[in-house]
Structure 1
């Protein structure tokens, strides 16, 4: 006969997720919002092109673009301001909005320099595309995630692909925004903020293009992004942008920035 006193107790019948019902849920996070420095901040912006930089190389290239000035920022309440500089810096955790000089705000640039979790991606995408900013065309620059790519990737490979909304792919009267790139291979996956932005463009019937490049860091990746921007904005002078081998400094960006 078994000894019921000294015998090990049976395992709990509760699953780990069942135990969470006894804890108080965390309060909801405040919604992200846009802040503009200009007087007419209550009016919607209607740029002909909105460029959104998510990858480290694209943030680097657009940061060194001389013909831009800041008009606003996107505030994500859970991201602290501590440690940010007064002037835009690559080390800041920020999301600044710029316009090109002498462009009459027809081209806007958004530089996303902090990680956006998948749970917040939809809210941020709605703000940047279709909220106070209603663009005619959108160009999103991100990096390929090796874990989501169908195939092997080497640091020696220089690759770039694109995805387009159906409105960009079918209804381009003049030409596609970015030419010379193959479409992202079938079986590979894109998620996070870049996917949410492209989905928002698709829902609102906006011509949207997502460009994905590899590797994530280094000189070759910056040159690749520079080439993509030159195709999309042929009138933009990018010759003065320094291309330095600062891949170690690039890695200060959180890896969640690309998920």
Structure 2
């Protein structure tokens, strides 16, 4: 039986087992999401000595709402505890830059593992191909720091994406009438309240601040869709495909919003 994403705790961030990698490895740019400019490789001034965030309980009020929607898909603890054997970038100053580079690679690989694990559960007809891709991706995540740094992760992602596109098409094929494709569409602020979006390809669509209240997104492909400030109150997302926790964390919903079992209601939703 295929393993559901909710049964894979390794694909969920465990900050207690990480050395604050996202707070150091990532670059920040002054914007609505971040109060400061910070180059990649420099620790955020809010990062404490124990690798915890000093303003975690008040990220939005402190000017860092972008941090509240970020998710590493478990890459942080994998790199800290497995790839580097429990060492942190302060202990291994000489390998800090390598650790940050590897973190970016493993983060992408773990996101692919999330999608592939979901795809296995949704498209049994493609099981063999999906399992091979998952096993290959998993193998890469367990490589040495040097092999991970040398991995052409963009090429690997492209191969996996081709398979995920086939998975999406297979799942959405049963929707009638044939739904339109809105892949990459600019839907900023769009009024889509109550819309029938079943099976619609919304890959990489920009839905920032769109009104999707009570919309039906059953079997809608949401890979890469920008859901920042999207109104999802009452939306039917229980069977949406390739939806992630970071996307939900960036949106607005309520108790009437139906979610896939692998995802949780963000704390800021009423």
- TM-score normalised by structure 2 residue count: 0.24
Question: Whose strand proportion is higher, 1 or 2?
Answer: 1
Question: Whose helix proportion is higher, 1 or 2?
Answer: 2
- TM-score normalised by structure 1 residue count: 0.25
Higher RCO by CA contacts (8 Å cutoff, separation 6 or greater): 1
